[in-house]
């Protein structure tokens, strides 16, 4: 009898242990918070060594995770870049070169394999807040529609720019999170308001009607520039404004489209008419707007921590593109120089990503690589045929064999190839099927980080020029 009882107990243990073992190894899906700023260059952070701006919250996020310094947008303009961030596709896949193509059609297959759709189908609560600038949705809902990209909710219908009320909506969501894991995209407007300074100056100088009026942006600019009231312009500039950048000069042999595409616009007007003092005021304002969005990022991170969600949340911080910030006598975006194309990218996931890691080696595309990375961490199958790669291995190991050797960035009428050896090759493209127009630029970022010396006409660099052409042709399959 005793033997029978012992055998029964052993059988019961054998039945129970596997059940409890499975429960103990059940993996909890991570929450995901994507913080997206607008028009923030990679160097516009104090943790990047910029002494003219103070970003303590971004700095802290970087100290608790990994920061990629060689991260690039797919296209340094809002709508094309955001299309890529949602889909892991190059903007040219749908014929998009700039914001003017914001209503280009996006196929159902692309929309159904976008970030919102993939995570919604995997059981996530998918939420979008703030600035959209998304393209290709159906005509019924218009192109400004995160729901077309699979998100369950757009929680800021009264703030489509991503200002303070969007931050408040995200904080409220984090405080009242439901049972499901979430994917929350917090899309914030600044430091994009810098666009309105040269726009206002151009309209006033040319006695023209402002084609892009924005009362909130104009009010914020006026508030930030109140500091100069009661002072002469010169005194204000000398006391408060950053100096001109070292690469203030225009490079020889600049691609024609960098000038021609903006000849009649306020961007071209500022390049021709802004004084050195005007550019320094521009830089002052750009820094202050960046500090505003840093404080908003701090609110989001504080809410995440207070809600008890921090330990199981992957946080991604990046921007859709940068700003020239007076480099090469330019403001705003759309250019292939580092200030426009090189963007911040930080990942934090407690216990899963090492703290304080600086990856200055691997070439990363936030537009191509965001979707595969999020899917990898959430254990969601990544759609086949994408050029993007998951950053999970880099975040865990710092380096990864087999990583890409070059990366492509697009803009209207020009293409950029960023190479592993820190060379940058740019080429003008014709309007007719992207044939080579042979206007080229080549920079060595090791010896010339400001991209002042165009090496395209230097004979010893002919081999690199040929290699740049070859790699771009392979990327686009053009002759």
- Is residue 441 located within the same domain as residue 333? no
Average pLDDT over residues 353-369: 95
Is 254 a domain residue? no
Number of neighbours of residue 158 by Cβ within 10 angstroms: 7
pLDDT of 436 = 52
Q: What's the pLDDT score for residue 479?
A: 35
Contact 261, 412 (CB under 8 A): yes
In-domain check, residue 441: yes
Between 146 and 99, whose confidence is greater?
A: 146
Total domain count for the chain?
2
Mean pLDDT, rounded, for 255-263 = 82
What pLDDT score does 233 carry? 93
Give the CATH number for residue 447: 3.30.1120
Specify whether 439 is located in the same domain as 364. no
Please check whether residues 111 and 38 belong to one and the same domain.
yes
Give the pLDDT of residue 21: 41
Pick from 305, 301, 362, 265: nearest CA to 167: 301
End residue of a domain, out of 372, 400, 428 = 400
Which comes out higher in pLDDT, residue 224 or 263? 224
* Neighbour count for residue 477 (Cβ, 10 Å): 6
Q: Which residue would you say has higher pLDDT here, 114 or 101?
A: 114
Q: Establish if 211 belongs to a structural domain.
A: no
Q: How far is CA 83 from the centre of its chain?
A: 11
pLDDT of residue 431: 53
Q: What is the mean pLDDT of residues 439-446?
A: 95
For residue 87, the number of C-alpha atoms closer than 13 Å in the C-beta half-sphere is 26
Same domain, 290 and 362: yes
**Nearest-angstrom CA–CA distance, 368 and 403:** 14
- Predicted structure pTM score: 0.91
| Residue 72: partners with Cβ closer than 8 Å, 6 or more residues away | 341, 342, 343, 363, 364, 365, 366, 407, 409, 418
The band of 397, judged by pLDDT with boundaries at 50, 70 and 90, is confident
412 pLDDT higher than 90: no
296 and 431 both lie in a single domain: no
Q: Classify residue 342 by its DSSP letter.
A: B
Q: Do 165 and 102 fall into the same domain? A: yes
- Confidence category of residue 437, pLDDT binned at 50, 70, 90: low
Closest CA to 117 of 152, 155, 93: 152
Instruction: Indicate if 39 and 176 belong to the same structural domain.
Output: yes
* 111 within some domain: yes
- Write the pLDDT tens digit of every residue in 207-221: 998 888 899 999 999
Q: Are residues 433 and 342 in the same domain?
A: no
Domain extent for 43: 31-193+283-400
Specify the pLDDT at position 97. Answer: 86
Closest CA to 416 of 25, 30, 73, 68: 73
Residues 6 or more apart in contact with residue 33 via CB below 8 angstroms: 184, 186, 300, 304, 313, 314, 315, 316
SS3 of residue 362 by DSSP: coil
Let me know whether 372 and 440 are in one domain: no
Domain boundary among 346, 376, 400: 400
Question: Across the chain, what does the average pLDDT equal?
Answer: 89
> Does the pLDDT value for residue 178 go beyond 70?
yes
179 with 306, same domain? yes
Q: What is the pLDDT of residue 23?
A: 40
**Same-domain check for residues 394 and 447:** no
């Amino acid at each position: 009898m005793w033997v029978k009882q012992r055998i029964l107990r052993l059988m019961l243990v054998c039945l129970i242990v596997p059940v409890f073992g499975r429960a103990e190894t059940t993996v909890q899906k991570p929450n995901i918070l994507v913080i997206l700023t607008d028009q923030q260059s990679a160097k516009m952070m104090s943790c990047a060594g910029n002494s003219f701006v103070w970003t303590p919250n971004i700095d802290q996020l970087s100290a608790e995770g990994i920061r990629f310094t060689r991260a690039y947008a797919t296209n340094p303009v809002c709508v094309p870049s955001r299309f890529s961030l949602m889909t892991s596709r190059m903007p040219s896949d749908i014929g998009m070169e700039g914001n003017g193509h914001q209503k280009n059609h996006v196929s159902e297959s692309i929309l159904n394999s976008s970030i919102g759709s993939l995570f919604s189908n995997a059981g996530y609560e998918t939420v979008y807040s703030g600035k959209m600038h998304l393209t290709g949705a159906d005509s019924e809902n218009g192109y400004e529609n995160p729901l077309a990209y699979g998100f369950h909710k757009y929680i800021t219908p009264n703030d489509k720019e991503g200002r303070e009320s969007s931050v408040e909506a995200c904080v409220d969501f984090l405080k009242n999170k439901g049972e499901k894991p979430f994917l929350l995209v917090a899309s914030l407007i600044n430091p994009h308001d810098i666009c309105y300074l040269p726009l206002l100056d151009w309209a006033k100088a040319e006695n023209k009607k402002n084609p892009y009026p924005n009362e909130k942006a104009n009010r914020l600019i006026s508030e930030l520039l109140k500091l100069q009231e009661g002072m002469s312009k010169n005194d204000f500039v000398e006391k408060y404004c950053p100096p001109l950048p070292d690469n203030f000069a225009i490079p020889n042999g600049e691609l024609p489209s960098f000038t021609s595409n903006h000849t009649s616009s306020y961007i071209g007007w500022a390049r021709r008419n802004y004084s050195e003092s005007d550019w320094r005021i521009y830089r002052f304002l750009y820094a202050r707007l960046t500090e505003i969005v840093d404080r908003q990022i701090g609110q989001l991170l504080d809410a995440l921590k207070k809600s008890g969600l921090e330990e199981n949340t992957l946080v991604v911080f990046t921007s859709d593109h940068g700003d020239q910030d007076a480099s090469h006598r330019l403001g705003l975006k759309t250019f292939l120089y580092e200030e426009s194309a090189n963007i911040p990218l930080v990942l934090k996931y407690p216990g899963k990503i090492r703290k304080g890691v600086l990856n200055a080696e691997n070439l990363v595309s936030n537009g191509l690589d965001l979707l595969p990375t999020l899917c990898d961490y959430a254990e969601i199958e990544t759609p086949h045929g994408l050029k993007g790669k998951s950053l999970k291995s880099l975040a865990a190991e710092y380096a990864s064999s087999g990583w890409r050797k070059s990366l492509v960035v697009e803009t209207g009428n020009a293409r950029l190839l960023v190479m592993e050896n820190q060379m940058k090759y740019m080429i003008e493209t014709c309007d007719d099927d992207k044939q080579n127009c042979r206007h080229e630029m080549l920079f060595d970022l090791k010896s010339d980080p400001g991209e002042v010396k165009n090496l395209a006409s230097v004979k010893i660099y002919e081999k690199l020029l040929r290699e740049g052409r070859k790699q771009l042709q392979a990327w686009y399959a053009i002759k």
